[in-house]
Amino acid sequence: MIDLNVLCGMKGKSVMVTGATSGLGAGIAKFFASAGVRVMGLGRNERAGQAVVDEITAAGGDAVFQKCDVTKMADCVAAAEAAQKRFGRIDCLVNCAGDTRRRTVEDLMEDEWDTVIDATLKGVYMMCHCVVPYMKKQGGGKIVNIGSGWALKGGDHAVAYCASKGGVWNMTRALAIDCGPHNINVNCVCPGDCDTPMLKKECEQLGGVYDDEFKASCAVRPIARLGRPEDVAMCVFFLCSGMSPWVTGSALVVDGGGIA
């Protein structure tokens, strides 16, 4: 019989998760830790990030928080060095950090465009720039970039967000081509609307109230509910595990059928 724990091969491995202070990033960090993976959570909010790490360690997991602004190269370099020093290798990188401004092109200001593109798109480049050399040296690794359903189709009042996530998806494919010969798999997970602080932020930017009525409007899809962080975390885990050795340059849509 197949032992799925052996097939997954994740216990004792290491992962860096950006945007791990809340929402999907925090959920991914917690899920990986619960499976015996050593976790380094990255983010700008040290207090929130440490709270996530404290929750993980209280449950018996192995986690540490590293303050890191993914738009700053010095922070990304320091984070990669810290992970290498702590774990001895970097098995997985999950790029989850991002930001949004729900605006049409005529309403979006230049500084808002820069904020979204830098946090959501440039940050993926920065972290991969710093981590890929370690993975190449150790003989392989797994990278999962968090995209969006709107990486694959357009959305209203989201010109910068759609541009950034579309860039993340196409960057994923380019990375997969370059990194494949070095045994580094690079994939993209594209979630739909999930019940997270980011969705609440989007609602408020659109002038709405984050209540049951708004959530119901986001749940209009074949599987009629909002996503949960663990829905996304399980798919990220699969792509980081030994169960996906020949999967690279792919987009895995996790949205309850929203763009089906």
Name the residue range of residue 175's domain: 12-192+229-254
Q: Is 223 among the domain residues?
A: no
Q: Is 144 among the domain residues?
A: yes
Determine the pLDDT at residue 3. 87
Q: Is 36 among the domain residues?
A: yes
Active site residue 161: yes
Determine the pLDDT at residue 224. 98
Q: Is 203 among the domain residues?
A: no
Q: Is 222 among the domain residues?
A: no
Q: Is 234 among the domain residues?
A: yes
Angle between helices 159-179 and 123-138 (to 10 degrees): 20
Determine the pLDDT at residue 6. 87
Which residues 6+ apart lie within 8 Å of 44 measured at CB?
A: 21, 67, 68, 69
Residue of 125, 134, 161, 210 marked catalytic: 161
Which CATH number does the domain housing residue 79 bear?
3.40.50.720
Considering only CA atoms, give the Rg of the chain: 17
Q: Is 167 among the domain residues?
A: yes
How many structural domains compose the chain? 1
Task: Give CA–CA dist 186/58, Å, rounded.
Answer: 32
Q: Is 77 among the domain residues?
A: yes
Kindly report, residue by residue over 203-226, the tens digit of the pLDDT: 999 999 999 999 999 999 999 999
Question: Could you say which residues of the chain have pLDDT below 70?
Answer: none
